[in-house]
Amino acid sequence: MSILDWICVVGYFAILGLIGVQTSKRIQSVEDYNVAGEKVTWPILFASLAASVLGGGASTGMAGNVFKDGYVFMFVFCAYGIASVLIGYFIAPRLKSYKGAQTVGDIMEKHYGKSAKLLTGILSVGLCTGILGGQALALGTMFNVILDIPPIVGILIGMGAVILYTSFGGVWAVIQTDVVQFILLGVILPLTLIIGLFAVGGTDTLVAKIPDVHLTLLGDWELAHFIGLFITFF
């Protein structure tokens, strides 16, 4: 890596730390910490959610699986986007009626009692643990490829930074860092695609090297495999 590369990496983590420190000064209540005082506008929320979705799984993980299996994995992953649209249209507008609720568990408690809230919390922790594990692995892999350091060290550095700014700044810090990451992703991902296409000799050369089965709907998957994974993402 060049000096410029190191400056970019160190500068990025410095920005995350600065956001965490500055945001922690704005936390005045539990509501500020958990739901950013319910003052987040929709453009900021969009950027935050988009940056969250475009994490290690949807970028490096998605690209790796499409490279391995072909279009079929891209098609099956569309279920996640369909689910997000349906949630936004049918479910999200109804959440406004639950004043004071800060978690899904709070909403479940209003309808089904404390046992449902506890079960929701346990399932949510399990889900988030799996997601966090995937993000940590992607982060460690990136550190290994870019900085040539052991993946476990990269995970400790990267996740350490995330834990710090999240712990001190709450959702305010998460949203602000997500906006920064959204802007970077909007520039870096298209730029990476262009560089990659030039590296392999252009679009025609790339397509010529792809196995024909990778360009079909199901590839070499069985229909039951496709439907099962589609439902899982959905």
pLDDT in tens, 166-201: 777 777 777 877 888 888 778 887 888 888 888 888
Radius of gyration of the chain (CA): 20
pLDDT digits (tens, 9 = 90+) for 70-104: 889 888 988 988 998 898 889 888 888 888 787 88
The confidence score (pLDDT) of residue 32 equals 64
Q: How confident is the model at residue 117 (pLDDT cuts 50, 70, 90)?
A: very high
What is the value of pTM for the model shown?
Answer: 0.61
Going by the DSSP 8-state scheme, the letter that residue 54 receives in this structure is S
Residues shown for the chain: 234
Q: How confident is the model at residue 163 (pLDDT cuts 50, 70, 90)?
A: confident
Number of structural domains (the chain) is 1
pLDDT over 70 (residue 38) = no
**Cβ neighbours of residue 103 closer than 8 Å, sequence gap 6 or more:** 34, 120, 121, 124
**What is the sign, positive or negative, of the torsion defined by CA atoms of 49, 52, 54, 57?**
negative
- The angle that helices 151-200 and 114-147 make with each other, rounded to 10 degrees, is 70
Burial class from Cβ neighbours inside 10 Å (0-12, 13-18, 19+) for residue 159 reads middle
The mean predicted confidence, pLDDT, of the chain is: 82
pLDDT over 90 (residue 120) = yes
Spell out a b/e string for 173-195, using b for 16 or more CB atoms within 10 Å of the CB, else e: bbbbbbbebbeebeeeeeeeeee
Q: Do residues 155 and 74 touch, judged by C-beta distance below 8 A?
A: no
Higher pLDDT, 164 or 40: 164
* Domain encompassing residue 34: 3-233
pLDDT digits (tens, 9 = 90+) for 128-147: 888 788 778 888 887 888 77
